[in-house]
Every structure is written in C-alpha cells, then in structure tokens.
C-alpha cells in the first residue's frame, strides 16, 4: 500500500531507494539467567564490549576528517559515560548478583539512570539521558555481535547509494559515520528545525527529512521510498506513475546540478559587468570544504554558537581559537565573517550562571545574542580574544548579532578594545584593524540606520529575524509559518532603506538570511542594490547562474517601480515578470 508521510525537509533534493531501519538495540535484549560459573566470563564479555566501543569512538574521533569541535565533544561525553562507575561497575554488580546476561544488566542500569536524569530540573541535564541511551545502544550492539556500524547492513546486491536510513533519531556520532558512507538519504522521527540532527543533515548534503514522528513505526525494512527533501515529504511504496514522475524530477535536478558545477570557477559578474560576491553561511568548521567546493568567495556568516550547542560548559579560549583558526586557514586567504554567539532564544547553551531558571514568555525578545554577550562579560571577552587571536591567520571580520541600540554598539566596541589591549599586554599578535559589522535584524535598526553607519565598518541584513520581528511572526512556530512572508512590502522597504542609506556613505552591506539563497529573489535583490550575498553553500551555484544572466542597469529602474507597489498580489505578479 502506498502512503505519504510529512516532516520537515532539512536538506533538499530527491532520493529514491530502499528503507533500512536503524535498529533499537535496547529493544532486542532478552533476559537470560546464567550459571554461577559463567558469571566471571559474562563480566569479561561486558568489559570487552565497553573497551571495544571506547576504541570505536576513539577511532571515529581520530579518523574523521574535519570533525567539528562540537562532534568531538559529543564523542568525549559518550566516552566519559563509558568510564562512569554508574554505567560500568553497576552492571557488573547486577550480573554477579542476579546472574543475568550482560545486555540485560546494562539495560536495567540504563533505565535507572534515565529515570534519575529525568528528575533534573535543568533541561540541559535532563537531555543528557539521550546520551546515556545512545551510549548503551552502542555497547549492546557490540554485545549482540553487531557493533556500532551494524546499521550499515545492506541486503545483498543493494549498494549504499540505494539505501535510505530510517531512524528514530541519530546521534552526532552516527552522523559522522554517515560522512564515510554514501547513503541516499535519511529520515528521522524526531528533530525540529534547530535540532543538531537537522543542522548536521545540511552538512551531509543528502536529501533528508526530520520530525516525521512515526516513520520508524510505519515503514518496514526494504520498502521502497521516495524522499523529497525540499518539501519534507516521504512516499512509501509509490505506485509506478508516481515513481516515474519523481525519477524524472530527480534526473532533472541532477542534470541541473551537474550543469551548475561548471559555474564554480566562473567570475560572479552580471551581464553589464557588475561584480557580485557570493559567500557561504557555515555552522561548523567541517562545512568549509563544502563552501569551497561551491566556489564561495568567503564566509559571510559563521554561526559560532552551533559549535558548542548541546554542551554543558562554555568552551575555553583555546578551544574557540582552534575552531576559528581552522576555518580561517581552510578558507586560505578568503574573508571569514565570524558572528559572536547568537545564544538564547531557540539556541540555548545554559552554561553555569547563565540564562537563569525563569521561563521566558518571549525568548526571541529576551536576552539573546549581543544582549546576552554584554551581560556575560567574561564569556564575551573569551570569545573576542579567541577571534582576535585567529585573525593573525587570515582576514577575519567580526559580526555582531541583534543590535538595536547605539549604546550596545558602543559597549561592544569598548569590549573589543579591552580584548585587544589585554592581548597587546601579552604580546599576542592579532589584526589591529579587524573590521566590525552589525547585523540588521531588528526593524528599529533598519529604520535608525544612521546610528549603525556612523559606528560600524559593514552591515549584514539578517532577514530571517528581520521578517520575524517586522511581521511579529515566530519563525520557529509552524502554526504561523504561512504568514512568514519575505515579500511583505514592509520587509522590502526596510531592506531597500538599509541598502540605499549604506550606499550613500560607502558602507558595504551583505544579506545573510535565507532570502540570499533563494534564486527567485536574486534579480529583485540585485535590482535593489545588493552586491554581497551569503547563503548555505548548496545554493551558491544556482544563485550565481541568476547573477550571470542579470543586467543590473536594466533591473534597477524596474525594481524601483516594483517597490512602490504595496499590493501583495501586484508585487507577486511583478516579481514573476522580473524573473521572466
């Protein structure tokens, strides 16, 4: 029977293949009673499994190229659990006392621990129960004779490229393992738009859908699946007609992709000779090769907070420095725009002493991003020093998120001066002239743009938030997502005002929200005067293809007229005409 499931498409493209269910090893465990003389042997078997999994994690950390710091940290957490007496000594005692098999003893202890973690008030600590389960799963798989990579059991004659992994959830370590394989796609039951699974899915660049809720329960091993990663749709057992239709679309997408690859080295210039910079947005140092592969001329937005999400502690200066240096070195002389932590709101880190316990009613309007950094001077200094130190390895620009007030800019610049002066005192080299830019994400900032232009070296328009705040639409709430409209006249007016005002005083502006990567909007933005786009690497070549066909001198007067239209229907019509 054919049916369709819906989730959240986190990485575009179409995949057609066979379902491979990732097993829940803990569910396969049965209770066996062992004889007294087998007890020592059973404990030895348990110890060997722990050792093997530790070794596996260690190898994974060492051998995975470009392993982002965040993922390495996850492996460390899992390794730490494998050294914890609660997870190592207790099951041994259970085996001895209850004369049961190692798997059963471990699952009993896991359930106990999960219960304890659930009692924690701190949501971060509560979440760690998932790490306990993931670690135990690994050990159980080892004990059951299908270690960590057991998920990769392909049926005879089926290659990895034909397999679609169906999982309840994937740990970051699983995702690293995926980097060594070539699966067609993966889909998971859980995961929202900002879950680390979704974030990492993008770096794999295979079609994937998360948040399917019960894909694992409804899909059976070996069933044929179509995954539409753009629309977040999975078709199970498609009929011949649907299959043909998708095969055709898949072929078209692949053909277009391979044609686009030829544009990688083409100069990004319009027909009338206007240079347009196409930069990449990245979340992790491991995204750098993908950015270079897409021909990115620089990094327009490095969302540093992603490096350390899901960690309980704040990374120290050295760790941050190494992450930033890796990106700068990887980009080999191309500019790298590092944004200071945009924590709070949907991306919460909760290190000691931060955030507090109060449940916030409007986190998007609360103490997030620069507001949080200024409220936590020690944390801010650590990050600023790390960024400054990395600036001696290549061109870095510093970008500040969520600015609204002049005094926030002044305080930020003072904090930067303090970091510089401490480094000078220690005779540590850095770029004295590091450019400082501000994100235009709050309507007030776009309207009072003069404050920003007088104080900063460059601006970057964050349309994701600008739309959220202009239209009062929570960008993560799917119930109002139909009202989230980049083409709302008010949004366009704010962008146009920012671009025009900055041009008058020769301050460069980039746009790094999702709008920059939408090829339908390339001509409109060019016509508005935008010359610096920053987007997810997978979008760069398509946007470049639009740039190459555009004539700015032609577009500008048409777009000016368009911006005077404040009837959405007319605007939409004009946009279609513009894209011809």
Catalytic residues, by residue number, are 196, 512
Among 70, 465, 518, 542, binds ligand PEP (CB under 6 A): 465
- Give kind and range of the element (H or E) at residue 228: strand 224-228
Which residue is it, tokens 């379902």?
19
Q: Does 287 bind ligand PEP (CB under 6 A)?
A: no
**Binding partner selected for residue 303 from Mg ion, ligand PEP, none, CB under the kind-specific 5 to 8 Å limit:** ligand PEP
Count Cβ atoms within 10 A of the Cβ of residue 333 and give its class: 0-12 exposed, 13-18 middle, 19 or more buried.
exposed
**Binding partner selected for residue 376 from ligand PEP, Mg ion, none, CB under the kind-specific 5 to 8 Å limit:** none
Applying CB under 5 A, the span of 12-20, 350-358, 455-463, 545-553 interacting with Mg ion comes to 455-463
Burial 180-214 (b: 16+ CB within 10 A, else e): eeebbbbbbbbbeeebbbbbbbbbbbbbbbbbbee
CB of 302 to ligand PEP, least distance (A): 10
Using CA of residue 236, residue 192, residue 519, residue 560, what is the dihedral sign?
positive
Q: Does 194 bind ligand PEP (CB under 6 A)?
A: no
Among 310, 465, 518, 542, binds Mg ion (CB under 5 A): 465
Show the site string, 216-255: x = touches ligand PEP by CB under 6 A, - = not: ----------------------------------------
Count residues contacting Mg ion (CB under 5 A)?
Answer: 3
Applying CB under 6 A, the span of 38-46, 138-146, 315-323, 460-468 interacting with ligand PEP comes to 460-468
Phi/psi of residue 8, nearest 5 degrees: -110, 115
Question: Is residue 415 a contact partner of residue 380, using CB atoms and an 8 Å limit?
Answer: yes
Q: Does 441 bind ligand PEP (CB under 6 A)?
A: yes
CB of 339 to Mg ion, least distance (A): 9
Q: Does 340 bind ligand PEP (CB under 6 A)?
A: no
CB of 341 to Mg ion, least distance (A): 12
Among 195, 304, 383, 463, binds ligand PEP (CB under 6 A): 463
**Binding partner selected for residue 513 from Mg ion, ligand PEP, none, CB under the kind-specific 5 to 8 Å limit:** ligand PEP
Among 300, 344, 462, 527, binds Mg ion (CB under 5 A): 462
Strand pairing report for 3-6 and 8-11: unpaired
Three-state DSSP class for residue 133: helix
Strand pairing report for 14-21 and 224-228: antiparallel
Show the site string, 512-551: x = touches ligand PEP by CB under 6 A, - = not: xx--------------------------------------
Give the nearer residue to Mg ion in terms of CB position, either 177 or 468: 468
Show the site string, 292-331: x = touches ligand PEP by CB under 6 A, - = not: ---------x-x----------------------------
Count residues contacting ligand PEP (CB under 6 A)?
Answer: 10
User: Using CA atoms, how far apart are residues 56 and 58, in angstroms rounded to an integer?
Assistant: 5
User: Using CA atoms, how far apart are residues 291 and 284, in angstroms rounded to an integer?
Assistant: 11
Count Cβ atoms within 10 A of the Cβ of residue 526 and give its class: 0-12 exposed, 13-18 middle, 19 or more buried.
buried
With vertex at residue 267, the alpha carbon angle to CA 262 and CA 268, rounded to the nearest 5 degrees, is 100
What strands, in cross-sheet order, belong to the sheet with 14-21?
3-6, 233-236, 224-228, 14-21, 163-167, 185-188, 208-210, 8-11
Query: Using CB under 6 A, which residues numbered 483 to 512 contact ligand PEP?
Result: 512
161 CB neighbour count, 10 Å cutoff: 12
End-to-end distance of the chain based on CA atoms, in angstroms? 41
Give the nearer residue to ligand PEP in terms of CB position, either 87 or 309: 309
Applying CB under 6 A, the span of 185-193, 391-399, 458-466, 494-502 interacting with ligand PEP comes to 458-466
User: Using CA atoms, how far apart are residues 411 and 407, in angstroms rounded to an integer?
Assistant: 6
From the list 138, 137, 186, 144, the residue with the least C-alpha distance to 161 is 186
Give me the residues that bind Mg ion (CB under 5 A), please: 441, 462, 465
Applying CB under 6 A, the residues found at the interface with ligand PEP are 301, 303, 342, 441, 462-465, 512-513
């Amino acid at each position: 029977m054919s049916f369709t499931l819906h989730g959240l498409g986190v990485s575009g493209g179409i995949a057609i293949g066979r379902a491979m269910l990732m097993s829940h090893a803990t569910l396969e465990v049965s209770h066996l009673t062992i004889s007294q003389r087998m007890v020592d042997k059973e404990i030895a078997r348990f110890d060997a499994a722990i050792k093997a999994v530790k070794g596996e994690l260690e190898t994974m950390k060492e051998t995975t190229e470009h392993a982002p710091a965040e993922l390495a940290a996850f492996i460390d957490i899992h390794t730490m659990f494998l050294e914890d007496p609660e997870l190592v000594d207790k099951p041994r005692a259970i085996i001895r006392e209850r004369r049961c098999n190692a798997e059963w003893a471990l699952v009993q202890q896991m359930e106990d621990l999960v219960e304890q973690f659930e009692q924690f008030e701190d949501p971060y600590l509560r979440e760690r129960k998932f790490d306990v389960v993931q670690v135990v799963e690994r050990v159980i798989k080892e004990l059951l004779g299908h270690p960590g990579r057991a998920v990769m059991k392909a049926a005879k004659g089926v290659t990895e490229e034909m397999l679609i992994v169906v999982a309840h959830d994937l740990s970051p370590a699983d995702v690293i393992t995926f980097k060594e394989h070539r699966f067609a796609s993966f889909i998971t039951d859980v995961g929202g738009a900002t879950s680390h699974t979704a974030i990492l899915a993008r770096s794999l660049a295979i079609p994937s859908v998360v948040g399917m809720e019960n894909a694992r329960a409804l899909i059976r091993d070996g069933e044929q699946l179509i995954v539409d990663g753009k629309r977040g749709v999975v078709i199970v057992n498609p009929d011949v007609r649907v299959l043909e239709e998708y095969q055709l679309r898949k072929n078209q997408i692949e053909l277009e992709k391979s044609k686009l690859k030829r544009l990688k080295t083409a100069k990004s210039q319009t027909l009338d000779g206007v240079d347009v910079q196409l930069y990449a947005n990245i979340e992790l140092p491991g995204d750098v090769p993908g950015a270079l592969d897409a021909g990115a001329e620089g990094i327009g937005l490095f969302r540093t907070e992603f490096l350390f999400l899901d960690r309980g502690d704040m990374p120290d200066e050295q760790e941050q420095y190494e992450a930033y240096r890796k990106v700068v070195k990887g980009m080999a002389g191309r500019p790298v725009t590092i944004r200071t932590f945009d924590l709070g709101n949907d991306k919460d880190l909760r290190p000691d002493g931060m955030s507090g316990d109060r449940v916030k009613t409007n986190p998007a309007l609360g103490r997030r991003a620069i507001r949080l950094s200024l409220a936590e001077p020690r944390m801010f200094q650590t990050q600023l020093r790390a960024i400054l130190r990395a600036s001696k390895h290549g061109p870095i620009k510093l970008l500040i998120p969520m600015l609204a007030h002049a005094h926030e800019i002044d305080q930020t610049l003072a904090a930067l001066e303090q970091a510089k002066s401490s480094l000078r005192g220690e005779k540590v080299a850095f770029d004295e002239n590091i450019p400082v830019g501000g994100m235009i994400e709050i309507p007030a900032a776009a309207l009072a743009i003069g404050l920003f232009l007088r104080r900063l070296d460059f601006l970057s328009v964050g349309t994701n938030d600008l739309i959220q705040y202009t239209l009062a639409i929570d960008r993560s709430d799917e119930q109002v997502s139909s009202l989230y409209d980049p083409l709302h006249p008010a949004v366009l007016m704010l962008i146009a005002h920012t671009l025009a005002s900055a041009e008058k005083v020769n301050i460069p502006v980039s746009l790094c929200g999702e709008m920059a990567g939408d090829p339908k909007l390339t001509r409109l933005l060019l016509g508005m005067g935008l010359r610096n786009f920053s987007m997810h690497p997978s979008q760069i070549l398509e946007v470049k293809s639009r740039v190459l066909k555009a004539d700015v001198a032609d577009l500008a007067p048409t777009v000016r007229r368009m911006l005077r239209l404040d009837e959405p229907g007319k605007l939409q019509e004009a946009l279609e005409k513009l894209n011809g």
